[in-house]
Amino acid sequence: MIAVRGVEGQKIAVLGLGRSGLATAAALQAGGAEVLAWDDSPEGRARAETAGFVCRDLSKAGAFEDVALLVVSPGIPHLYPHPNPIIAQAMQMGVPVDNDIGLFFRSWAGPDWDSFDVAPKTICVTGSNGKSTTTALIHHVLTHCGRRSQMAGNIGRGVLDLEPAEDGDVVVLELSSYQTDLARALTPDVAVFTNLSPDHLDRHAGMGGYFAAKRRLFAEGGPDRAVIGVDEPEGVYLANQIATNREDDRLIRIAVSRKLGDWGWSVFARKGFLAEWRKGRQVASIDLRAIKGLPGAHNHQNACAAFAALRAIGLAPREIEAAFHSFAGLPHRSQTVAEKGGVAWVNDSKATNVDSASKALQAFKNIRWIAGGLGKEGGVASLAKDLEHVKKAYFIGHSARDFALQLTGLDHEICETMDAAVAACARDAVAGDTVLLAPAAASFDQYGSFEKRGEHFVALVEALAD
């Protein structure tokens, strides 16, 4: 646990008592704060009381009169589409509002660091798609190379639940826009921006607000090194704001859409090959095509981002390449779960938006595509350009018929449920086909999370006869 610094003797309110909220409360208490916990759900309050925390109803008038700080969980809106009433009350009272990410960055470094031979590092990864895979890949490589590494944030553990730093530690954090938007301290050593596509727009009042939340990781903290994906205009803009000239190697540009050899430091992937260029010449390359855990151009972008971040802290190209080969990928992200009768079954349940589904559709051939769920704003008509390798679609969930209407001319079947879709694919698929679950939709019409949706798919596939 990371004890929060600078809170001794203060009353600190914690709103939202899920995994990160309870870890935050414990870290504040370890730092000497008097914690006042609250959650709208009785179950959340019961968990806090069982853990020994005092609950205070923060919705009541005067609840913040003696409170020095309010710490909120990332899922609770503080501005758009409407501020949570408790957060709005705290702000009206002039009570500072923060989250666990801000507390981590103000508490991570300690006086014992002066005795370390190698100062601990923090690598933070943000963006729309690929954050989790990039984060996990960086952590995997570090561990493979014998470096002590901890992974947290939007993946794995809450940040304040991490172990205190040891000599040479590297902490790798996946940060969502919800987390970067509110944190009062953001000071990573290396910050990574993968890409940007529309998501969570209601929470940020549009694309501009969404990008602004991501940009805070670079503008507020001033990382020693920034790794920026420049395949979209926002990444080009962000890179331009960071670099003082073309040779500025505090910035590493990454791309999968074009060559980047003319910059001071760049990493890009073309036709399955990753190349690192510095000062106008190539210094390293990796053949990504044989790495099973990183299929498709979208994973090649993740590989570029991870490679650049690892090079920024001094790892050698050959070390990184060797570790890439043992990376198995993450569950629910282009995860090959079985091969039966020459048919590959791939679980990409994390493809909850059009952009991530597009990347999955481009990564495989002879696709039998399971898609649908709770469709998002804008629909899926833009996926028409990515259907070249789709032999047939099997639509499920609330938006099944909407998807069929928007993707005219595509051979399809309305299955409605995952059970029916998997059975239909098993009936139709022949050797050489790939059955791909890439929903392009949220899961909440039929499942509690994309993980539950993916787990159901995997269970159904495992039950099929070989």
Each residue's pLDDT, cut to its tens digit, for the chain (466 residues) gives: 999 999 999 999 999 998 889 999 999 999 999 999 999 999 999 999 999 999 999 999 999 999 999 999 998 999 999 999 999 999 999 999 999 999 999 999 988 899 999 999 999 999 998 899 999 999 999 999 999 999 999 887 899 999 999 999 999 999 999 999 999 999 999 999 999 988 788 899 999 999 999 999 999 878 999 999 999 999 999 999 999 999 999 999 999 999 998 889 999 999 999 999 999 999 999 999 989 889 888 899 999 999 999 999 999 999 999 999 999 888 898 888 999 999 999 999 999 999 889 989 998 999 999 999 999 988 999 999 999 999 999 999 999 999 999 999 999 999 999 999 999 999 999 999 999 999 999 999 999 999 999 999 999 999 998 7
Which positions ≥6 away from 259 have C-beta within 8 Å? 268, 270
Give the strand order in the sheet containing 343-347.
335-340, 343-347, 434-437, 367-372, 390-396, 412-416
**Which residues are annotated binding-site positions for ATP?**
127-133
CATH-assigned architecture of domain 11-98: 3-Layer(aba) Sandwich (3.40)
- Token reading at 379: 């629909």
Q: Are 344 and 433 in contact (CB under 8 A)?
A: yes
**Which residues are annotated binding-site positions?**
127-133
Answer whether 106-324 and 335-462 agree in fold.
no
Say which CATH topology domain 106-324 has: UDP-N-acetylmuramoyl-L-alanine:D-glutamate ligase (3.40.1190)
- Boundaries of every domain in the chain: 11-98, 106-324, 335-462
Three-class SS of residue 254?
strand
Do the strands 54-55 and 34-38 form a parallel or antiparallel pair, or are they unpaired?
A: parallel
Q: Are 428 and 442 in contact (CB under 8 A)?
A: no
What is the spatial distance between Cα 400 and Cα 416, in angstroms, rounded to a whole number?
7
The CATH class that applies to domain 335-462 reads alpha beta
Backbone angles phi, psi at 351, to 5 degrees: -75, 75
Q: What is residue 164's DSSP assignment?
A: P
